[in-house]
Amino acid sequence: MLKQMKVWLVLTVVLSLLAVAASCSKAPTNETTETNTSTAGETYQSKGDEGTVSGVIAFTGAAPAPKKIDASADAVCGQRNPNLSTEDTVVADGKLANVFVYVKDGTTADGKKITAINFPVPTDAAALDQNGCQYKPHVMGLMANQKIRITNSDPTQHNVHPTPKVNPEWNQTQANGAPPIEKTFSRAEVLIPVKCNQHPWMKAYVGVLKHPMFAVSGADGTFTIAKVPPGKYTIAAWHEKGGAAGTEKTMEVTVPANGAGKADFSFGDAATTSTTPGLKMMPAIEFPMLGRH
């Protein structure tokens, strides 16, 4: 009797583990992705009086030199990109690139909350490429439910692994020459880190918003957010340095009808020093996260 019970116990444990593994074997596909972005609000109707928000991202203090990446683990990476180096703080002439700037909150001139308005989702897919064992672009934005099209231009294999907090996590291998991966993120999230577990230095950040009012600062630190309805907004600028969640700075900007709002931000010394955790520790434990995907 006892023997039979033991056999059944072992069988139950093994079968349960197999069942859980099987149920989790499918990565969330576009078809199964939830569409939790609220559609309850009013649909945006353009009056043709939209303005812009533009500015420059300055970097104060001494910019850290890019670090050379040891790509010896995959010879192809070294051949494709002999000067492979870090992209977390790209500074030229005191101007900072790769800062994600977006309309965080605010009210339009006719008193509507910007976050409650539904903007049409572009039909074009946002592009993310793996080239020279780096993600191109390093920072990008797209709208919730807009397709992201990920390509592999390298003659080596990558795996694309976004690690969102509110969207479903997925991890997909993309061999060289494999067709593009097309996915969507259904919930707004600023920003989703994307990594490649085969090449641990590869990182990208994808900002997902309910509206199309975002931009990424270029090599000269400038950015322009187009088609912003007149109103008063909180503009946020996010940079990846500054701890696990990066650093975000905000300012209030008024956009006149057919006019331009100005939003200059400054990152640098303070943000950079706070990103050198050294012995700094996280205050909280993240305990068992079964089913977080």
Partner 1 sequence: MNKGVFRFALLVAGATFLLIIAGALVTSHDAGLATADWPLTDGHFLPKVTIFGITTSGVNMVGNLFWEHGHRMIATTVGFLTILLVIFLFVREKRRWVRRLGVAALIGVVLQGLLGGLTVKLMLPLAVSSAHATLAQLFFCTTVALAVFTSRSWQQQRSTIEESPGISLRYLCATAAALILVQLVVGATLRHSATWDKPLPTPLLLTHIAGAIIVTVVLGSAAVKVLRRHKGERFLTRPATVALSLLVLQLMLGVGAYLVRSASPNDPQPLKPMVAITVAHVACGALVFATTIVLTLRCFKVLRPRESKEFVEALA
Yes or no: say if 51 and 261 are a contact pair by the CB < 8 Å rule.
yes
CA angle 77, 81, 82 (to 5 degrees): 100
Q: Is 274 helix (H, G, I), strand (E, B) or coil?
A: helix
Give the footprint of partner 1 on residues 189-218 (CB under 8 A): 197-201
CA distance 79 to 28: 34
Q: Is 139 exposed, middle or buried (0-12, 13-18, 19+ CB in 10 A)?
A: buried
Give the footprint of partner 1 on residues 261-290 (CB under 8 A): 275-290
Q: Which is nearer to partner 1, 30 or 197 (CB)?
A: 197
CB of 279 to partner 1, least distance (A): 5
CA distance 214 to 210: 10
Looking at residue 219, what DSSP letter applies?
Answer: T
Binding track, positions 18-57, relative to partner 1; x by CB under 8 A: x-xx--xx-x------------------------------
The encoded tokens of residue 4 equal 């039979």
Amino acid at 34: E
Binding track, positions 146-165, relative to partner 1; x by CB under 8 A: ----------xx-x-x----
Give the footprint of partner 1 on residues 53-82 (CB under 8 A): 67, 69-70, 73-77
Among positions 172, 222, 224, 254, the unique one binding partner 1 when judged by CB under 8 A: 172
The residues of the shown chain that bind partner 1, judged by CB under 8 A, are: 10, 13-14, 17-18, 20-21, 24-25, 27, 67, 69-70, 73-77, 86, 88, 156-157, 159, 161, 169, 171-173, 175, 197-201, 243-244, 275-293
